[in-house]
Structure 1
Amino acid sequence: MSIRSEIATLVGKSSYWFLHTFLKGGSSLPGKLTTKIDPEVLKSMGQNYDVIIITGTNGKTLTTALTVQVLKQKYQNVLTNPSGSNMEQGIVTTFLTAKNTKDAKPIAVLEVDEANVIKVTKYIKPKIMVFTNIFRDQMDRYGEIYTTYQKILDGAKLAPDATIIANGDAPIFHSDDLPNKRIFYGFNDHPELANEDIKAQPNTDGVLCPKCQNILHYHTITYSNLGDYFCPNCGYKRPRLDFELTKVNELLPTSSKFDIEGDPFQIDIGGVYNIYNALAAYSVGRIMGVKPPQIAEAFHSNEHIFGRQEIIHVGDKDVTLILVKNPVGLNQVIDMISTDREPFSFIGLLNANYADGIDTSWIWDGDFERLPKMNIKKFITGGERYKDITFRLKIAGVPDDLHEVQPSLEKIVNEIPNLPTKKVYILATYTAMIQIRNDFANKGYIKKGIE
């Protein structure tokens, strides 16, 4: 480590200590200060680690958390960025928090923002890169899905020796010519449908064949553009899967039971989309030598992550806080809450800051029309863009007499004890999720901070 790097690291560690000792913490500022002094500090920080990068549109945070739990079944020292601070400065802060270890090669499992992959691989050569999915998300920042994937590819090209573990059900991940070793995971829970020929729903992104631009067909579709795809024009098709989900046994709002390679697993979080995250973590674990029973134990010990189906107890109410940020993720969450057998209340919070995406038009691609058909006893809409989400639910057919408009998140927290149902689901964009968590913390329902 150079003198410059040592000084930068000392400043970063000191600022981290001060922020977390005297203030409310912070995961970006120490990294910003460190990289300001030494822009190449990641090179020295990451050189002694086996680094695993996890990136993609949806599922990065949960996949990272599950992967860490899986690897801890075999490895003692696993560093990660649990707060989801996944840009360069947040990743630098993660290394600043690392404890000295005698391990010859500790592991770092890093959630990395798609546009920041190249900023990491410029200095760190990962052992494994995990690609979860690519969906339309924050178009003001990422552009279309092909632009987003190119950002990831630009980073991957700097790490040709890394093994890529990719979602084989996503057509885009089999379309490039990277030299890396590839491992694919996916769903194969309906082999009896191997001869089916269906198409994705209209307005689905990413269903053009990457080779000839004809519309892809499917034998089975899990959701959106994910599934067992093939092109009837040029023969492009899903690659052979190395790790397969073979059966979905039970889907509830708070848990999912399924088989991978014939072995049973359970995660205490709902939604088919989260099974993909578990499958990705399973694949990393198997590559790293963790056995299936150990992985099952890791999944069972999983704790909820902030804002990702985090359950907050407010009096006698069970409030589930869920991050939503794009149409595909939103529709999967709507699918998930539709499995609830009990009546519930629905709160929708919409912000449009940089971290949310400043364009709110994506909410019109969300299937809110399903909500009035569910057993929802009360609707509340709020956030900085409350007018947009309120109007969207009105157009979706939500009855006015069940719908309350409340821009103030603090007042929404105060209103929760008066809601007519025990269960409450809050769907919030990123900064709205952070804001309402702070309000819950101020009321003493949860601890402050997100780490």
Structure 2
Amino acid sequence: MNLKSRAAVFFAKTSHFILKNILHRGATSLPGKIALKIDPDLLRHLSDNLDVIIVSGTNGKTLTTALCVKVLKTAGYDVISNSSGSNMVQGIVNSLIMQKSSKKQVAVLEVDEANVAPVTESLTPKFFVLTNIFRDQMDRYGEIYTTYDKILAGIKNAPKATVITNGDSPIFQRAKPENLTVYYGFDHLNENKDLLAPTNTDGILSPTDHSILHYHFLTYANLGFYYSITDSFKRPKLNYAVTKIDQLTPKYSEFEIGSTRFKIEIGGLYNIYNALAAYSLAQEMGISANVVKETFEQNQQIFGRQESIDVDGKDVTIVLIKNPVGSNAVIDMMLTEKDPFSLVALLNANYADGIDTSWIWDADFEKLHQANIEAVLTGGERYKDIQVRLKMGGFEDQETVPDLKQIVEKIKTLPTKKVYVAATYTAMLQLREQLAKSGYIKGGF
């Protein structure tokens, strides 16, 4: 690195120390922002001696990244990553500064969809792992097709990289990169039904003639075995597939890929997709299924993603919500809970959340009446919005806590042992900060 780069790294590390140890802040983004002000080309220098894997898409980036990291570490790789989920350029720079060593390393980087192109202008990945594309933060991305175009622009910067992508997602067939492409998905049902996606589902138009796609089966949203009845367009042949789902619970999922049975310590059908993406990367890198199985069964929680925290005897589970599809997937996960629980819904609308909260009206909160919910608590900076949404959804008996500094104490008063906290990204960070200050977790956000 040149003198400018060294200065950028020095000031980034200094600011990181001050933020973490004196101000007790997260230090996940600002040090990288300072470094880039000093040396705008720093990412290019930091990527020397790194094999880079980029994980992107709307939902599941953080968990997929974490699973990929754990699998690679189990296999013996020296891995660095932006594990906090700070996935824009400055957050990635910050993570590389704090973790990079002089020896050969693998960098597994979660990258925001709009940042794939800026990141790949400075470094060249060996793999892209794409999860899905759903309507999300329309103030930033626009419609789903615009989002995919942003990712494609980044892939075009690395034509030799292998793209590992969700074959069950029709949008990834809209425009294919020239790269070698590997597909993963579900083949767990031996059915030949003729189904249509539910009303108000995005992304169900055929890319060949814009007709409405049909399905032999659906997993959730627009994902599944799709095909066109007007031409030959259909889901591509899968390289890696879930062949059986054995059990779904709020705390774990059991499923099979080929002849191997896996268990992940996190609930929700949607999280099996994330595990399958990590499995597919492992296979492409020559890592055995047994190593992946061993890794998945390690009971290690992921930052802000179905973390289970003991708060004075309350079993508090934090789940991230940020768009209609993700929220509906979380709701379906909650419906697998057999015990009574309390629901805490925290809504913010900062830049990292998306400043438009209208998406909450497309999430199917009404479905939660099927669960055994004994109490509802709403809060966050946009507490009025989520309060009204849940009231209109039939949850009229609710308590509201506008100040998140009081939320931990309020959780202690809820009538059930189990508590599910559904929070947007910055609300989740604020909650974790309060939990850390109260001594229930280590680290803030």
TM norm structure 2: 0.97
The residue number in structure 2 matching 1:64 is 65
The residue number in structure 2 matching 1:226 is 223
On the 8 A contact 1:66/1:302 being kept in 2, the answer is: no
Aligned length: 444
Range moving further from structure 2, 3-12 or 168-177: 3-12
Cα distance in 2 between the residues matched to 1:101 and 1:302:
31
Cα distance in 1 between the residues matched to 2:58 and 2:38:
31
- Closer, same or farther: CA 266–12 of 1 in aligned 2, 3 Å: same
**What stretches of structure 2 of length at least 5 have no aligned partner?**
none
Q: Does 1:137 align with 2:132?
A: no
On the 8 A contact 1:31/1:92 being kept in 2, the answer is: yes
The residue number in structure 2 matching 1:49 is 50
Q: Does 1:265 align with 2:255?
A: no
Cα distance in 2 between the residues matched to 1:429 and 1:36:
29
- 3-state SS of paired residue (1:108): strand
- 3-state SS of paired residue (1:449): coil
On the 8 A contact 2:337/2:371 being kept in 1, the answer is: no
| Percentage of pairs with the same residue | 56
The residue number in structure 1 matching 2:370 is 373
Q: Which string of whole-angstrom CA distances, capped at 9 and with x for unpartnered residues, describes residues 71-130 of structure 1?
A: 11223311111111100011111110124244xx42100000000001110011100001
Q: Report the CA distance between 1:302 and its aligned residue.
A: 4.8
Q: Does 1:82 align with 2:83?
A: yes
The residue number in structure 1 matching 2:431 is 436
- 3-state SS of paired residue (1:307): coil
Range moving further from structure 2, 269-278 or 8-17: 8-17
Cα distance in 1 between the residues matched to 2:365 and 2:287:
41
Cα distance in 2 between the residues matched to 1:257 and 1:187:
14
Amino acid corresponding to residue 186 of structure 1 in structure 2: G
Alignment map for 1:207-286 (pairs within 5 Å): 207-286=204-283
Say what the alpha-carbon RMSD is for the aligned residues: 1.3
Cα distance in 2 between the residues matched to 1:381 and 1:16:
33
Amino acid corresponding to residue 82 of structure 1 in structure 2: S
The residue number in structure 1 matching 2:183 is 184
Q: Report the CA distance between 1:142 and its aligned residue.
A: 0.7
Q: Which string of whole-angstrom CA distances, capped at 9 and with x for unpartnered residues, describes residues 296-329 of structure 1?
A: 1111125212221111111111000111000000
Range moving further from structure 2, 12-21 or 82-91: 12-21
Amino acid corresponding to residue 110 of structure 2 in structure 1: E
- 3-state SS of paired residue (2:125): coil
TM norm structure 1: 0.96
- Closer, same or farther: CA 86–376 of 1 in aligned 2, 3 Å: same
On the 8 A contact 1:309/1:322 being kept in 2, the answer is: yes
Pick from 416, 420, 430: which aligns with 1:421?
Answer: 416
Pick from 295, 299, 317: which aligns with 2:296?
Answer: 299
**What stretches of structure 1 of length at least 5 have no aligned partner?**
none
The residue number in structure 2 matching 1:148 is 147
Amino acid corresponding to residue 171 of structure 1 in structure 2: P
Amino acid corresponding to residue 431 of structure 2 in structure 1: I
Cα distance in 1 between the residues matched to 2:204 and 2:55:
24
The residue number in structure 2 matching 1:326 is 323
The residue number in structure 2 matching 1:405 is 400
Q: Which string of whole-angstrom CA distances, capped at 9 and with x for unpartnered residues, describes residues 214-238 of structure 1?
A: 1011111000000000111121111
Q: Report the CA distance between 1:64 and its aligned residue.
A: 0.3
The residue number in structure 2 matching 1:11 is 11
Range moving further from structure 2, 300-309 or 289-298: 300-309
Q: Does 1:393 align with 2:390?
A: yes
The residue number in structure 1 matching 2:162 is 163
Cα distance in 2 between the residues matched to 1:376 and 1:177:
44
- 3-state SS of paired residue (1:223): coil
- 3-state SS of paired residue (1:308): coil
Amino acid corresponding to residue 355 of structure 1 in structure 2: A
Cα distance in 2 between the residues matched to 1:342 and 1:375:
7
Q: Which string of whole-angstrom CA distances, capped at 9 and with x for unpartnered residues, describes residues 413-448 of structure 1?
A: 112222111100010111111111112222221123
- Closer, same or farther: CA 294–173 of 1 in aligned 2, 3 Å: same
Cα distance in 1 between the residues matched to 2:184 and 2:35:
37
On the 8 A contact 1:69/1:302 being kept in 2, the answer is: no
- 3-state SS of paired residue (2:307): strand
Amino acid corresponding to residue 132 of structure 2 in structure 1: N
On the 8 A contact 1:243/1:260 being kept in 2, the answer is: yes
- 3-state SS of paired residue (1:381): strand
Q: Report the CA distance between 1:40 and its aligned residue.
A: 1.2
On the 8 A contact 1:382/1:406 being kept in 2, the answer is: yes
Alignment map for 1:340-351 (pairs within 5 Å): 340-351=337-348
Cα distance in 1 between the residues matched to 2:35 and 2:225:
45
Cα distance in 1 between the residues matched to 2:263 and 2:117:
34
Amino acid corresponding to residue 63 of structure 2 in structure 1: L
